[in-house]
C-alpha cells in the first residue's frame, strides 16, 4: 500500500531526474537511499536487475580500458567474462549487447545446489589467458533465479584478487536478505565486490521498477557514461553539480524509481523489511518441510533452500513406487506442464516450472509476498494433488 502510494505520487509528479534542479528532493532521496544500501553491503562511504548487471559490465570494462568509450571495442583485446551456469540470462545478454559477445561469457560449473564451483572458475580463467583473451569480469550470483543459491563469495573474491578481475555480485534476487540479521550471512563476502546489483522490486516488495547498481569506486560510473550535454549539465550552475546525477546513466528520460522505496523504508524501517524477509523465508521452510516428507513429492536438490525457492517434482499416483528409469523421467517431465495448464484452466492458482541441467521439468515455488500465509501453501499443494488425480 505504501509502495503504491509512492508510485502514485511519482506518476503524478511525472518528473524526470537527470539534474538536481529538475527534481531536487528526488535526487536527494536517491542519494540518501543508495548511501544507505552501500552501508548495508558493507562499504564505508556512499554513492549509488538486468539493466544493473549491464552497468556493472560497462563500469568494469571502462575501469580496465577507458579508451573503449571513445575508440570502441576494436581498440581492445578479446575480453572474456565469467558467470555460473545457473546465473541469470541478463549477464549473457549484457555480453551480447555490449559488443563483448555472448560466446565470450564463459559459464562456470555449479554444484548440485546451483552454487558456482570456484575451482572451475580458476581453470577457466587460466584457460582464457592461455588462449590470448583478456579475462576481466566475474559475476557471482547471490540468490540464483531458479534454485535460490548463493555463490561462495569469499572464494570468488580470492580468485578475483589473485588474477586481477572485477568482482560483481548479482544480488537482484538475494540482495534483500542483507536486510535480515538472521539471513545476511549468506552474502558474506559481498563487501569485497567491486559492484553489486540489488533489486528492491523483488524481495523487498517495492512496486516495479526499482533496481539499483552499487559501484564501490566513487565517480567511476559517471566517467564511464558522462557525455556532458551542454543543455543540461552546465558546469557554471550556482549549486553543487555533483547532484546532477543524470549523466551516470545511459538513459536520458528516466522515471523516478526511488521515491516509493524511500517512502516504504521510512514507513517500515529496516526492521520492517527484516520482518518481511524473515517471514517469507519461514514460509518457504514450511513448504520445504512438507515437500520433504509427504508422499508423492521429491526435492530437486538436497538440503534446506537458502532463499525462498523450493524446487520439487510432484509424482502422480501412476508413477509412484517404481525405480526411476529414463522412460520414467520422460513421463515425469510431462507432469508439471500438465498440472500448470490445468491450474490455468481452472483459474485457481499458478506456479512456475522449468527444467534445469539434467533435471526434467520441476515446480519452482518462490515466495516474495509477505502477505502469503501457510494456508496459501496448503492450498497450492492441495490443488496440485487435486488436478493430477488421474495422471
Ligand atoms: C530477476 C533477476 C535479474 C533481472 O532483474 P530485472 O527484474 O530484470 O531487473 C537478474 N539477476 C537475477 C539473479 C534475477 O533473479
152 prior amide bond cis, ω within 30 = no
pLDDT in tens, 5-34: 888 888 888 887 778 877 888 888 888 898
Mean pLDDT over each residue of the chain, to the nearest integer: 93
Give the pLDDT confidence of 239-256 residue by residue, as tens digits.
Answer: 888 888 888 888 877 888
Strand ranges (E), the chain: 79-84, 105-108, 134-141, 166-171, 195-198, 212-215, 297-299, 310-314, 352-356, 359-365
Nearest alpha carbon, ligand 1 atom 4: 49
Average pLDDT (35-61) is 84
Using one digit for the tens of pLDDT, what is the confidence trace for 57-94?
999 999 999 999 999 999 999 999 999 999 999 999 99
Q: CA-to-CA distance for 336 and 339, rounded, in angstroms? A: 5
Domains of the chain, residue spans: 2-269, 271-386
pTM, entire model: 0.93
Whether residue 334 has pLDDT greater than 70: yes
Question: Which of 56, 143, 199, 206 should be mutated for ligand 1, with most atoms under 8 A from CB?
Answer: 199
In the reported structure, the alpha carbon of residue 163 is separated from the centroid of ligand 1 by a whole-number distance in angstroms of 27
DSSP 167-189: EEEEETTTGGGGG-TTTGGGGTT
Segment 260-270 shows an average pLDDT of 94
| CATH code at 271-386 | 3.90.1150.170
Of 147-156, 194-203, 250-259, the range with the lowest mean pLDDT is: 250-259
- The CATH number, out of the four listed (3.40.50.2300, 3.40.50.20, 1.10.530.10, 3.40.640.10), of the domain defined by the range 2-269: 3.40.640.10
User: Who's near 5: CB < 8 A, 6+ residues apart?
Assistant: 260, 263
Nearest CA to ligand 1 atom 9: 49
Instruction: Quote the ligand 1 centre to 325 CA distance (angstroms).
Output: 35
Looking at the chain, the whole-number percentage of residues with pLDDT higher than 90 is 74
Banded pLDDT at 45 (limits 50, 70, 90): low
State the pLDDT at residue 26. 87
**pLDDT average, residue stretch 103-113:** 97
Contact (CB, 8 A) for 263 and 2: yes
Q: Taking CB atoms and a 6 Å cutoff, what residues make up the pocket around ligand 1?
A: 49-50, 53, 88, 90, 141, 144-145, 170, 172-173, 199, 211
Stretch 332-345: mean pLDDT, rounded? 96
pLDDT digits (tens, 9 = 90+) for 124-152: 999 999 999 999 999 999 999 999 999 99
- Compute the distance between CA of residue 159 and CA of residue 94 in angstroms, rounded to an integer: 22
User: What would the mean pLDDT of 298-302 be, rounded to a whole number?
Assistant: 94
**DSSP structural state of residue 142:** B
Residue 332 has pLDDT above 50, yes or no: yes
Pairing of strands 359-365, 352-356: antiparallel
Instruction: Give the residue, out of 202, 207, 356, with the most ligand 1 atoms within 8 A of its beta carbon, to mutate for a pocket test.
Output: 202
Q: How many helices (H) and strands (E) does the chain have?
A: 12, 10
Q: Which helix (H) or strand (E) holds 362?
A: strand 359-365
Structure confidence at residue 122 (pLDDT): 98
pLDDT band for position 46 (50/70/90)? very low
Same fold, 2-269 and 271-386: no
Distance of alpha carbon 305 from alpha carbon 310, whole angstroms: 7
Q: How far does the centroid of ligand 1 lie from the alpha carbon of residue 71, in Å?
A: 31
What is the pLDDT at residue 342? 96
Cell numbers placing 352? 512456475
- Residue 313 CA to residue 353 CA, distance in Å, equals 9
Ligand 1 center from residue 205 Cα (angstroms): 14
CA–centroid distance, 141 to ligand 1, in Å, is 10
CA of 1 to the centre of ligand 1 (A): 23
| 197 DSSP β-pair partners | 170, 213
Amino acid at each position: 500500500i505504501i509502495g503504491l502510494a509512492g508510485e502514485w505520487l511519482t506518476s503524478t509528479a511525472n518528473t524526470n531526474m537527470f539534474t538536481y534542479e529538475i527534481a531536487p528532493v528526488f535526487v536527494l532521496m536517491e542519494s540518501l537511499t543508495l548511501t544507505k544500501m552501500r552501508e548495508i553491503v558493507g562499504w564505508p562511504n556512499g554513492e549509488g536487475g538486468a539493466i544493473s548487471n549491464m552497468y556493472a559490465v560497462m563500469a568494469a570494462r571502462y575501469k580496465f580500458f577507458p579508451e573503449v568509450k571513445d575508440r570502441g571495442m576494436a581498440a581492445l583485446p578479446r575480453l572474456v567474462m565469467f558467470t555460473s551456469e545457473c546465473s541469470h540470462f541478463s549477464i549473457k545478454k549484457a555480453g551480447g549487447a555490449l559488443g563483448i559477445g555472448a560466446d565470450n561469457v564463459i559459464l562456470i560449473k555449479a554444484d548440485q545446489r546451483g552454487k558456482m564451483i570456484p575451482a572451475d572458475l580458476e581453470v577457466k580463467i587460466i584457460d582464457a589467458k592461455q588462449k590470448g583473451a583478456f579475462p576481466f569480469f566475474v559475476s557471482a550470483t547471490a540468490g540464483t533465479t531458479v534454485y535460490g543459491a548463493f555463490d561462495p563469495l569469499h572464494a570468488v573474491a580470492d580468485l578475483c584478487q589473485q588474477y586481477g578481475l572485477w568482482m560483481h555480485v548479482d544480488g537482484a534476487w538475494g540482495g534483500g536478505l542483507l536486510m535480515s540479521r538472521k539471513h545476511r550471512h549468506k552474502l558474506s563476502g559481498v563487501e569485497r565486490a567491486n559492484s553489486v546489483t540489488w533489486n528492491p522490486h523483488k524481495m523487498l516488495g517495492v512496486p516495479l521498477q526499482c533496481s539499483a547498481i552499487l559501484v564501490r569506486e566513487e565517480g567511476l560510473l559517471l566517467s564511464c557514461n558522462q557525455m556532458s550535454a551542454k543543455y543540461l549539465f552546465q558546469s557554471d550552475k550556482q549549486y553543487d553539480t555533483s547532484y546532477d546525477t543524470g549523466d551516470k546513466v545511459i538513459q536520458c528520460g528516466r522515471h523516478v524509481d526511488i521515491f516509493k522505496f524511500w517512502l516504504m523504508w521510512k514507513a517500515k524501517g529496516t526492521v520492517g523489511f527484516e520482518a518481511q524477509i524473515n517471514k517469507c523465508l519461514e514460509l518457504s521452510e514450511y513448504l520445504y518441510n512438507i515437500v520433504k516428507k509427504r508422499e508423492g513429492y521429491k526435492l530437486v536438490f538436497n538440503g534446506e533452500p537458502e532463499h525462498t525457492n523450493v524446487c520439487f517434482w510432484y509424482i502422480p499416483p501412476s508413477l509412484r513406487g517404481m525405480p526411476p528409469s529414463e522412460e520414467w523421467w520422460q513421463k515425469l517431465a510431462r507432469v508439471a506442464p500438465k498440472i500448470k495448464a490445468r491450474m490455468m484452466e481452472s483459474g485457481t492458482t499458478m506456479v512456475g516450472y522449468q527444467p534445469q541441467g539434467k533435471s526434467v521439468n520441476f515446480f519452482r515455488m518462490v515466495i516474495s509476498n509477505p502477505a502469503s500465509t501457510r494456508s496459501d501453501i496448503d492450498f497450492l499443494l492441495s490443488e496440485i494433488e487435486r488436478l493430477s488425480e488421474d495422471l
